[in-house]
Amino acid sequence: MPICTTRDGVDIFYKDWGKGRPVVFIHGWPLNGDAWQDQLKAVADAGFRGIAHDRRGHGRSTPVYDGYDFDTFADDLDDLLTQLDLRDVTLVAHSMGGGELARYIGRHGTDRVRSAVLLSAITPLMLQGPGNPEGVPQSVFDGIKDGILAERSQFWKDTAVGFFGANRDGNKVTQGNQDAFWAMAMAQTIEGGVDCVDAFAATDFHEDLKKFDIPTLVVHGDDDQIVPIDATGRKAAELLRNATLKVYEGSSHGIALVPGDKERFNKDLLEFLRS
């Protein structure tokens, strides 16, 4: 198995498909690198090198008890890019992974980075407050943690519905989408599940976004029930120096997996990579 061992001894599993300019995919919560298989194949078939890792405590990476904060995630990503000696990289991040991407640039700069894609990302800040009235109330995050701790298997089944917009009329969500979400979520440690909620709820990425000096594609669905676009995608696009915002009308949080949205995103991603 391809493994990157971090500076603190955590084994990070990754997939590495194709040859060419590298595209590194960073998954959302509570998923793992398998969430990117369609995109990995798309970029590899198009002549790029696609790489997707499992965050610590997720999927096939070491199921550690601690280290679920964005400084640690960013340093894990730096260990991966450094050990594989990746340069001229496009970083593509979904949801919570957007925070990992932003904090990586905030801590490590863009020497290795060519461009970035923020898909349904949590940046710049999720938590509702006086300066972020469009954000998500703390009570929602508390409810998520309670659900994980009470009976996480059923909680993940219930969460998959809103994640993909399966509760919307005319949706194209499959049972397979929801089953895959459950399987990936169950491969996350319960401690990681809870700690990540605190991390992605309250971490502020405004200063990290200010350090972006690369072209960035921001893609967000305007019916995202998990990460509301007005608190995140629209604000991130305004903060970034060189950003293009693409709003998918009626689309959910799970854009990269839902039929129809998936194909549209793959097309937009390849166009961005070739630009």
Catalytic residues: 95, 224, 253
Non-local (6+) Cβ contacts of 164 within 8 A are: 171, 173, 177, 178, 181, 252, 253, 254, 257, 258
Non-local (6+) Cβ contacts of 108 within 8 A are: 74, 78
Q: Beta 216-221 vs 89-94: how paired, if at all?
A: unpaired
| d(C-alpha 196, C-alpha 70), whole Å | 9
CA count, 13 A, side-chain hemisphere, 182:
15
CA count, 13 A, side-chain hemisphere, 123:
33
CB 78 within 8 A of CB 51: no
CA dihedral 52, 94, 160, 260 (to 10 degrees): -90
Q: What are the helix and strand counts (H, E) for the chain?
A: 9, 8
User: How many beta carbons lie within 10 A of that of residue 207, not counting itself?
Assistant: 11
Helix (H, G, I), strand (E, B) or coil at 67: coil
